[in-house]
Amino acid sequence: MATMADFRYDKATWCPGCGDFSVLAALQQVCVRMGLEPEDVCCVSGIGCSGKISQHFGSYGFHSLHGRSLPTAQGIKMANQDLTVIAAGGDGDGYGIGVGHFVHACRRNVDITYIVMDNHIYGLTTGQSSPTSKKGFKTKTSPQGVAEEPIKPLELAIVSGASFVAQAFSGDLKQLQRLIEEGMKHKGFSLINVFSPCVTFNRVNTYEWFKENIVNFDEEEGYDPTNKAMALQRIAETDSVCTGILYQEQRPAFHEVVLGATEQGTVKVPLEIPNDEMQALIDQFRRA
């Protein structure tokens, strides 16, 4: 049975205090708790500080292009449905460059888990405003303050058809682990947006700021995560500064409904073609 050590690979190079350390530790712990082996899991990442997670996590890994972790992860899952597939990235990677892929992944409902380390800034390139930076936030690229309204990833995911939407905080490791585990157990596309503070370039959205402002829906009496209207209303009322399982519905995953899909992943399908079928193909080609 695998241990935490089996899911460690490379020494993490994030800044001391970076919230991404907690995400990596939580993911490793959950895989051990679920009885997974490193060869059972594939971690696909995009570009940015968060993108390094596929290098630090001891499983199959794929460091994809900027904003392209989701199409890569969906392709891997469709090719080998036996793998537990994790896509990971940051708010710039996923909600900026990759936002088109994000919307379609939500409605498609491929059985993967998408973890977004949301620090409201581009950290790797030393502190530019990102799609989730609040209006008025001052950065190198917005010295007078961000002029645009921020992307609302939770609401965007829900209205786009995501069947599991949760939000966690790197400063609450226990809840973070539980939400990642629930997302991985969910059949279909699951989003875990994680407030993961950048201690170097974002001096506004700090650990202390989140601790003072977060509303935990898991502790809210009467909150029903299967009620879409309630989810959208309560998320808006907290200005998206909330944690917990925010929305969940049960519906078939993509591989269960797509035409032409097989119960067996394409990587498991025998490559040999019977001679009579091969000859029929050759004859058909010659007639064309």
The pTM assigned to this predicted structure is 0.93
- SS (HEC) of 211-273: HHHCEEHHHCCCCCCCCHHHHHHHHHHCCCCEEEEEEECCCCCHHHHCCCCCCCCHHHCCCCC
* Cβ 37 vs Cβ 7: under 8 Å: no
Q: What is the pLDDT of residue 170?
A: 98
What the block records as the tokens of 59 is 């499983």
Rounded CA separation 206/176 (Å): 17
Using left for φ > 0, alpha for ψ between -120 and 50, and beta otherwise, residue 219 falls in: alpha
Nearest to 157 by CA among 89, 225, 227, 107: 107
CB of 12 closer than 8 Å to CB of 21:
yes
Contact 173, 160 (CB under 8 A): no
Structure tokens at 149: 């309204």
What pLDDT is attached to residue 272? 83
Q: What is the pLDDT of residues 238-271, one digit of tens each?
A: 999 999 999 999 999 998 888 666 667 778 877 7
**What's the token pair of residue 191?**
């989003």
What confidence score (pLDDT) does residue 265 get? 78
User: Alpha-carbon distance 197 to 4, whole Å?
Assistant: 24
Identify the segments of the chain with pLDDT beneath 50: none
> What does the radius of gyration of the chain's CA atoms come to, in whole angstroms?
20
pLDDT of 191-206, one tens digit each?
A: 999 999 999 999 999 9
